[in-house]
Structure 1
Amino acid sequence: MPEPVALLHRLFNAAVAAADPMICVPEALGPKPDGRVVIVGAGKASARMAEAVESVWGPCEGLVITRYGYGRPTKGIEIVEAAHPVPDQAGVEATRRMLDLLEGLGEDDTVIALISGGGSALLCAPAGEITLAEKQAVNRALLESGATIDRMNVLRKHLSRVKGGQLAAAAYPARMRTLMISDVPGDDPAFIASGPTVGDATTSADARAIADMFKLDLPASVRAVLDGPTGVVAPGDPRLSRATTEIIAAPSVSLEAAAELAQTEGIGVEILGDALEGEARDLAAKQARLAMDLSAKGTKPLLLLSGGECTVTQRGKSATASGGPNAEYMLGLALTLAGAPRIWAMACDTDGVDGSAEVAGAWVGPGTLTLAHRLGVSAPEAMAVHDSHGFFAALGQQVVPGPTLTNVNDFRAILIL
Structure 2
Amino acid sequence: MFENRESHARSPAHEVALDCLAAGVRRADPEHATRDAVAVEDDRLEITADERATVDLTEFDRVLVLGGGKAAPGVVRALHATLGDRIDDGLIVVSEDDPAAGGSIGAVTVAGGGHPLPTPEGVAATEDLLELAETADERTLVLAAVTGGASALLAAPAGDLSVGDLRRSTRALLDAGADIDEINAVRKHTSRVKGGRLAAAAAPATVRTLGVSDVVGDPPSVIGSGPTVPDGTTYADALAVIGRHGIDVPAIRTHLDAGDAGEFPETPAPDAGLPGTTYVVAGARTAIDAAAAVAAERGYEPCVLSSRVRGAARATAPTHVAIGEEAAIAGDPVEPPAVLLSGGEATVDVHGEGEGGPNMEFALAAALSLAGSADGAGDELVAAAIDTDGRDGATDAAGALVDAGTVEDRGAARDALDRNDSLGYLGRRDAALVTGATGTNVNDLRVLVVPDRGD
TM-based fold match above 0.5:
yes
| CA deviation profile, 1:270-312 (whole Å, cap 9, x unmatched) | 1010011111111011112222222223642111100000111
Q: TM-score, normalised by structure 2?
A: 0.86
1:237 aligns with 2:272: yes
Distance across 1 between alignment mates of 2:36 and 2:265: 37
Other-structure match for 1:308: 344
Other-structure match for 1:113: 144
Q: Deviation of residue 47 (structure 1)?
A: 1.2
Q: Any conservation in 1 of the 2:195–2:267 contact (CA below 8 Å)? A: yes
2:37 to 11, 24, 28: 28
2:406 to 368, 374, 377: 368
Match of 2:297, as an amino acid?
A: T
Equivalent pairs counted in the alignment come to 408
- Which moves more between the two structures, 59-68 or 184-193? 59-68
RMSD: 1.6
Pairing of 1:206-355 with structure 2 (within 5 A): 206-228=237-259, 229-238=264-273, 240=274, 242-297=275-330, 299-315=335-351, 317-318=352-353, 321-338=354-371, 340-355=378-393
Q: Deviation of residue 221 (structure 1)?
A: 4.7
Distance across 2 between alignment mates of 1:220 and 1:88: 17
2:443 to 388, 393, 409: 409
Q: Deviation of residue 222 (structure 1)?
A: 3.7
1:13 aligns with 2:14: no
Other-structure match for 2:71: 45
Q: Deviation of residue 77 (structure 1)?
A: 1.1
Q: TM-score, normalised by structure 1?
A: 0.94
Distance across 1 between alignment mates of 2:229 and 2:285: 22
In structure 2, the CA distance between the partners of 1:221 and 1:297, relative to structure 1 (3 Å rule), is closer
Other-structure match for 2:207: 176
Q: Deviation of residue 49 (structure 1)?
A: 1.2
Q: Any conservation in 2 of the 1:128–1:225 contact (CA below 8 Å)? A: no
Match of 2:389, as an amino acid?
A: D
| CA deviation profile, 1:24-45 (whole Å, cap 9, x unmatched) | 2122223263421111111110
Distance across 2 between alignment mates of 1:74 and 1:399: 31
Q: Which runs of 4+ in 1 moved over 4 A?
A: none
Other-structure match for 2:98: 70
What secondary structure is seen at the aligned counterpart in 1 of 2:227? coil
Q: Deviation of residue 218 (structure 1)?
A: 2.3
What secondary structure is seen at the aligned counterpart in 2 of 1:272? strand
Other-structure match for 1:357: 395
1:124 aligns with 2:155: yes
| CA deviation profile, 1:180-210 (whole Å, cap 9, x unmatched) | 0111111110001110000012111011111
Distance across 2 between alignment mates of 1:88 and 1:413: 34
- 5+ residue gaps in structure 1? none
Q: Deviation of residue 267 (structure 1)?
A: 0.4
Distance across 2 between alignment mates of 1:388 and 1:68: 26
Q: Any conservation in 2 of the 1:130–1:222 contact (CA below 8 Å)? A: no
Distance across 1 between alignment mates of 2:398 and 2:108: 28
Q: Any conservation in 2 of the 1:127–1:225 contact (CA below 8 Å)? A: no
Other-structure match for 2:422: 388
Distance across 1 between alignment mates of 2:123 and 2:443: 25
1:157 aligns with 2:165: no
Match of 1:86, as an amino acid?
A: L
Q: Any conservation in 1 of the 2:284–2:442 contact (CA below 8 Å)? A: yes
Distance across 2 between alignment mates of 1:40 and 1:29: 17
Pairing of 1:183-202 with structure 2 (within 5 A): 183-202=214-233
Distance across 2 between alignment mates of 1:6 and 1:337: 18
Q: Percent identity over the alignment?
A: 38
1:398 aligns with 2:432: yes
Match of 2:431, as an amino acid?
A: Q
- 5+ residue gaps in structure 2? 1-8, 46-56, 373-377
| CA deviation profile, 1:378-405 (whole Å, cap 9, x unmatched) | 2111101001111111112111111111
What secondary structure is seen at the aligned counterpart in 1 of 2:122? helix
What secondary structure is seen at the aligned counterpart in 1 of 2:92? strand
| CA deviation profile, 1:123-152 (whole Å, cap 9, x unmatched) | 101111111111110010011111111111
Q: Any conservation in 2 of the 1:328–1:388 contact (CA below 8 Å)? A: yes
Q: Deviation of residue 349 (structure 1)?
A: 0.7
Other-structure match for 1:54: 80
Q: Deviation of residue 8 (structure 1)?
A: 1.3
